[in-house]
Amino acid sequence: MTGKAVSDASFYEELINSLDDLIWSVSADFKLLVANNAFIESMKIFTGLTIRPGDSLVMSDVFQKDYLSSWEDAFHQALKGASLKKEIYTPANSNSPESWTETSFNPIYKHGKVVAVACCSRNITEQKAHKRRPLLR
């Protein structure tokens, strides 16, 4: 691979879109900056909306207050410079079954200041269901 290929923005787009995990970044005012196709499709299934960069991710008309509060808390911690990983439960709605994700929140720095948050979520619903099942003897 040449240096030109690595610096090509389309390479990075292809890279994040080759993954099933949800990858996105959020500005300090909770607006979507960049997302892979898996994130866009997941949000479309869950909310019925096709979100785009610049759209607010604080959708109080879609998400319950306590659910939004949990996400906002994690974003605020990352905006203060903390890297964290949380297991997040998403209740079922009319478009989507309940699910669990393991989500990483990492600060994005520019000139030594946190300007955004990078996030990555992987679905752990199966692992959670497996832990809840009684062991067969």
Contacts of residue 76, defined as CB under 8 A and 6 or more positions apart, other chains included, come to none
Q: Which of 105, 107, 106, 101 is nearest to 121 (CA)?
A: 101
CA–CA distance, 63 with 70 (Å, rounded to integer): 11
pLDDT at 133 over 90: no
Please report whether residue 137 resides in a domain. Answer: no
Give the confidence band of 97 by pLDDT, cuts at 50, 70, 90.
confident
Whole domain around residue 95: which residue ranges?
Answer: 3-132
**Total domain count, the chain:** 1
User: Model pTM greater than 0.85?
Assistant: no
Give the confidence band of 14 by pLDDT, cuts at 50, 70, 90.
confident
CATH code: domain of residue 66: 3.30.450.20
- The residue-averaged pLDDT of 28-50 equals 94
pLDDT at 132 over 70: no
